Homo-oligomer: A and B are copies of this chain.
Amino acid sequence: MANREKNIKAAAMIEFIHTATLLHDDVVDDSDTRRGSITAHRNFGNESTILVGDFLYSRAFQIMVEIGHMRIMEIMSDATNTIAEGEVLQLIHCGNPDTTEKQYMDVIYRKTAKLFESATTIGAVLSDQSKLIEDCLRTYGKELGIAYQLIDDVLDYSSSSEIIGKDIGDDLSEGKPTLPLIYALERCNPNMQLMIREAITNKDSSHSKEIFQCVIDTGSLALTAEQAQIASKKAIDALNDLPNNQFKDALIQLAKYTIERIY
């Protein structure tokens, strides 16, 4: 198989795994909207959505067999395992107002950044790059994924569902302690703390308006966005050892866009 074909297959494989995780996530989170449309499970039911997710996982696995590269198998089997662990961890932290920043960062590395990391690492593997370049691209993918998820969690408190194409305020109503909320908890007054803790514990969004305001007033969105900027910069810095060309430029642009996006 020509290298060009392998690259395209690898990209399709990553996309299939990504879609499979989204299908299952939307069932798990009972979400209504995804990419501006009604979610698959709302449209076709949980049954089809779970099974089509499984189907896509297995197709991704078949594509890897077609590529026929054991290192890629290894990277992707570890990635899918880590993603599943991340989703379970996230579920465990749901409803827990004592979730720490460290625990949150571990969850987003696993559930989101790991797939970015595997995708960029595979790019290096398929083109027979040195260990150094492979490590650079791994770090790039990891930090890009972290930046992406941090901004995603900011947007859940600051965008509108028309712009972002998925439900807003879901994290709070699911009792999901993301970084904006963790920061707000650390910075607000005791009364507000109690309100936020109860909202997380009881997955109760009846005080969402006050809590949203508190997240803004404590500067928690700005602080979270700052963490995203740091991750984005780390991603770009990781590219230092790569030759300067249009591909490197595109990767840099992507890391910049990730923290500027409003959807």
Chain A interface (Cβ within 8 Å of chain B)? 21, 24, 27-28, 46-48, 50-52, 54-55, 57-59, 61-62, 64-65, 68, 70, 73-74, 76-78, 80-81, 83-85, 87-88, 91
Contact = CB atoms under 8 A, between A and B. Distances in A.
A24 B65 contact: no
Nearest to A79: B58
A42 to B, nearest CB: 15
Give how many copies assemble into the complex. 2
30 contacts: A24-B50, A27-B50, A28-B46, A28-B47, A28-B51, A47-B91, A50-B50, A51-B84, A51-B91, A52-B84, A52-B88, A54-B80, A54-B83, A54-B87, A55-B84, A58-B81, A58-B83, A61-B76, A61-B80, A61-B81, A62-B77, A62-B78, A62-B81, A64-B77, A65-B70, A65-B73, A65-B74, A65-B77, A70-B70, A73-B73
A47 to B, nearest CB: 4
Contacts of A80: 54, 57-58, 61
Contacts of A81: 55, 58-59, 61-62
B28 A50 contact: yes
Nearest to A44: B91
Contact of A54 (B46, B65, B68, B84): B84
Contacts of A54: 21, 24, 57, 80, 83-84, 87
Contacts of A91: 47-48, 51
Contacts of A28: 46-47, 50-51
A47 B174 CA distance: 13
Contacts of A46: 27-28, 46
A84 B55 CA distance: 5
Q: Which among A21, A27, A51, A83 has the highest number of chain B CB atoms within 10 Å?
A: A51
Contacts of A78: 62
A58 B57 CA distance: 9
Given A24-B51, A51-B91, 11 more contacts: A28-B50, A28-B51, A51-B84, A54-B80, A54-B87, A55-B85, A57-B57, A58-B83, A58-B84, A61-B80, A61-B81
